[in-house]
Amino acid sequence: MSIKFTEDHEWVLLEGDVATIGVSNYAQEQLGDVVYVEVPQVGSDVAKGDELAVVESVKAASEVYSPVSGEVIEVNGDLEETPTLVNEDPLDGGWFAKIKVTDASEIDELMDEAAYKTFVEGLE
């Protein structure tokens, strides 16, 4: 399955009915050095567009929004000890949460990599 992106610079990778969510490389560059990450609680329900996590950097605090609806089934505990994973490896080791998706069609509303790249280029 391919990775999809939101206009708020979150990424989502859907594998079966489980979505892994993080922020894009562009987002982590805009944030600067991440010093703290607050992830959601396992078992909590989120709706598409709800706040999923909070990232604090040397520049500011920013919310991360859920690109899909569902139940949080896993969080990246490594971020508590090493929040810099968001900067170092945003598309792999720096993920925030895994969600059991309740409506897989929400993924179809997101941008693929090519569309996201074009979107970001339009911001610069």
Percentage of residues in the chain with pLDDT exceeding 90?
Answer: 95
Q: What is the value of pTM for the model shown?
A: 0.94
Q: Quote the mean pLDDT of the chain.
A: 95
Partners of 37 in the β-ladder: 55
Count other C-beta atoms under 10 Å from residue 59's C-beta: 12
Q: List, in order of start, the domains of the chain with CATH numbers.
A: 3-104 (2.40.50.100)
Closest CA to 95 of 24, 36, 44, 33: 24
